Amino acid sequence: MHAVRIRRGSYRSFGRQLQDLNEINVHDLFGFQLDDFQLEAIKHLEENRSVVVCAPTGAGKTVIAEYAVEMALRSNKRCYYTTPLKALSNQKLNDFKKKYGEDRVGLLTGDISINREAPIVVMTTEVFRNMLYGTILGDVTRNLRDVAFVILDECHYMNDTERGTVWEESIIYAPKNIQLVALSATVANAAELTTWIDETHGPTGLVLSDFRPVPLRFHYFGDRHIYPLLSPGKGVNTLLKSRFGTKKSAHKDRKRRSGPVLGASPNDVLAVLSGRNMLPAIYFLFSRRGCEESMKRARGIPLINLSEQAELKEVIASFTKDHPNLLNHPHLPYLFEGMSVHHAGMLPSWKGLVEKLFQRGLLKVVFATETLAAGINMPARSTVISSIYKRADEGHRELTASEFLQMSGRAGRRGMDEVGHVVVLHHPFEPVEDAAKLATSPADPLSSRFTPSYGMVLNLLERHTLEDARDLIERSFGQFLVNQQLEPLFEQKMTWEKELERLQSPLCPTEIGDLPLYARRLETIRSKHKQLKQMERGLRGTPKQDPAAEQALGAVHTEINGLLEEAYGMPCHGCPVQKPCSKQTDRIAQLEKRIKEFDRRIHKETTKYWRTFESLANILRLKGYLDGNRPTALGRMATGIRGTNELFLTEVAVSGLLDHLDPPQMSAVLTALVTEDSRSHEQSRFRVSPQVELVLGEINTLARKLYRTQRELDVDISVSFSPTFSGLTEMWAQGSTWDDIRMSTSFDEGDVVRAFRRTLDLCRQFIRAPGMKQEIVDICNAAEVLLARDEVKENF
């Protein structure tokens, strides 16, 4: 592994060193002088190494990706650009089309293929992982023909609880002749990540940079004023400690957020930011409701001028002409005032409009949940962080350093702002010291989310032997981190083994005896003496001799004499080094016990992922998806289906329960299968049809059986499903308009669209799954046509 940490201006001579290396004139290519870390990354690429680049948001990591694209094009090779989100994929698709022309750029999703043989193909990381498996996306060799580079944008998504495994699998399975370009925000253990890629994939360089082209300035807002958060020494501003410090920390142990939050008013915040020329801003809150309420409270503040108002009206009029369903959107009046909200509950088309207006500078504030921090390119002059605590699965908790950094990193627009502003709002239950600590904390380390699944087992065994599959599983980043953690213990074990080897040399000058056996004999003799004394005490005071008792006493005497004779004859009896020999024997026993316990722990830790893999394989064999170590026809069908539990989805598909449904009913059932929402479906006014209710009842029986099987074999993969959105899907497939859907439920529109699109995705998977029954394929084909319209149809 080759690692370099770069700081701004650390060595300008480095650029001159690259002049002889670069086949491409970087200044002509980009039109500006590159920073040192960008040049160092390019050097790794030119020397046929993969590269991991860790730098702050907005530092210019994309330049390195674009250079890799140029290298591929100049050598008549191809380049894949992967992103974690479809929105990011669409953005990169449009960027590349503008730069290289539509004929040289393609897009590949699980559902849509546009110019997939183009020299530049954009896709989500899941699609790239699935391409490596082969399956319904085609032969692996064909998929990767002439591909020289794969760019893994936003590689820090490896930390994502649900999806992080995709990045690990992509790196493990990627052919070693492909150069990987892993672009990540700042993480604490970048060196570990690079070492793992270097060992797993091939020679890999690491470039670290803490340089931000637009430096950040941290502020604290309280009592309608804005203050510097940090002192010159990077500690908390002493003025803030006296004014907003820990004087109210006693409230911290109260049940948090039981009533209304008494934080700063968004009106006051925006008024101050506007007066100090710190707009546009992204105003982060941690609930959708909070975003909506803050926007309503901020209404009435003059944010845009007359020319911006006129341009806004023109853009919005053009957009609503193409999307007439947005004409009655309740947030439309706020757009004309230069503000909006952005969260996962919004319609995708509406979010697209908000993003477009913000990027053009026509919106001055967007109230957003933190999902925007990891989403598309929407930098602002300022970011406002409304709270340093958030609600999570484990309750209210403080933001992690990486979460705070990700939101902060949205501040400062390169080429537009000299400085980016991060404003933390005062809250009575959140000490200002905690805010200062977050502002100066380093990023969190990447952890592993590698998770064997039914699909992984089937796809690996379709193309690999069991031994090769095990090798791939044991090359995960998770296993690498475990091995790193165990390394000190391995060293301790080696020390024990050396000591044990040294202790094997006997201390006895003559014949070597069995000291433990000798000690056991002496212990037995002592025990027999105690027994003899107890028997003699029991016979005291007895007037007559008891022949049986006398005989028993004699037998014990004889046994003791025999044991004594045996002990006296042992080499250890009378040995001059018996005491040190005894200590040596005890130490040997202690060391052997420790080594044995360590070996058990090592086996448990180093085989965790493989044991899960084997348990999944055993269930697949029980269910007829594997014959030995090869997928059966059922197994090959399951390789074409993706989901939380591919076995469960395939079991439903082949059960016969779906064969006689009509397309709207099929849509409703598939929605239940892709929904694990715990909310009551009573929120929807429309229940599913009786036939769908009947099928869902039978599916529940299937789910319980599979759950019991999994529990018996110690497998913990969700077998849940929910009809939360099923009634709405059935309505939509029966031809209802989007206004009908919106008026029939209290769910956020974005959640409904997401459920419909996931249904559509599973529908297409059933169509393409190898060996799927024709009846199912025909119904799903019809359902696809009914579902893929208006808001649900994705536009590229």
As beta bridge partners, residue 52 has: 182, 206
- Interval 324-340: pLDDT, tens: 888 888 899 999 999 99
Least confident of 22-31, 256-265, 567-576, 643-652: 256-265
- Interval 569-595: pLDDT, tens: 676 666 666 667 667 777 778 888 888
Output the pLDDT for position 261. 44
**Residue 512, pLDDT above cutoff 80:** no
Output the pLDDT for position 11. 33
- In whole angstroms, what is the distance from residue 52 CA to residue 74 CA? 22
Cα distances (angstroms) measured from residue 172 to each of 168, 187, 341, 454, 486: 6, 20, 39, 18, 22
Closest CA to 62 of 280, 201, 213, 168: 213
Place of tokens 């696809």: 784
The string of DSSP codes covering 220-278 is EEETTEEEESB-TTSSB-HHHHHHHSGGGGGGGGS-TTSS------HHHHHHHHHHTT-
Least confident of 4-8, 383-387, 765-769, 772-776: 4-8
H/E element, 475: none
Beta strands in 343-456, from DSSP E residues, in sequence order? 365-368, 382-385, 389-392, 395-398, 420-425
Task: Specify the pTM.
Answer: 0.83
- Interval 425-481: pLDDT, tens: 998 888 999 999 999 999 999 999 999 999 999 999 998 999 999 999 999 999 999
- In whole angstroms, what is the distance from residue 709 CA to residue 732 CA? 36
- The contacts of residue 221 (CB under 8 Å, 6+ apart) are 227, 264, 268, 269, 272, 384, 423, 424, 425, 426
H/E element, 93: helix 86-100
Helix (H, G, I), strand (E, B) or coil at 18: helix
| Average pLDDT, rounded, for the chain | 86
| DSSP-H helix ranges across 6-59 | 13-18, 26-30, 36-46
DSSP classification of residue 446: P
Terminal CA-CA length for the chain: 39
Confidence band for 255, pLDDT divided at 50, 70 and 90:
very low
Confidence band for 248, pLDDT divided at 50, 70 and 90:
very low
Confidence band for 253, pLDDT divided at 50, 70 and 90:
very low
Torsion over CA: 264, 268, 271, 277 (sign)? negative
Q: Which is more confidently placed, 353 or 544? A: 353
- Interval 342-396: pLDDT, tens: 998 999 889 889 998 998 999 999 999 987 766 567 889 999 999 999 987 777 8
Q: Which is more confidently placed, 130 or 16? A: 130
